[in-house]
Amino acid sequence: MARHEYYDDGSTDKQQCPRCGDTFLGDYDDRLHCGQCSYTEFK
């Protein structure tokens, strides 16, 4: 699934960046990370 595609109900399977709003967070073992603005959320 491409990162810009959504499910029929409008949801996605990845979390979007709260700072950027238009990019998805990369899911790593210990954190969620945005490659565009470097926002990091530790699990």
CA distance 10 to 32: 21
20: left (phi over 0), alpha (psi -120 to 50) or beta: alpha
| Mean confidence (pLDDT) of the chain | 82
Q: What is the pTM of this model?
A: 0.68
- Residue-level pLDDT at 1: 47
Q: How confident is the model at residue 41 (pLDDT cuts 50, 70, 90)?
A: very high
Q: How confident is the model at residue 6 (pLDDT cuts 50, 70, 90)?
A: low
- Residue-level pLDDT at 15: 86
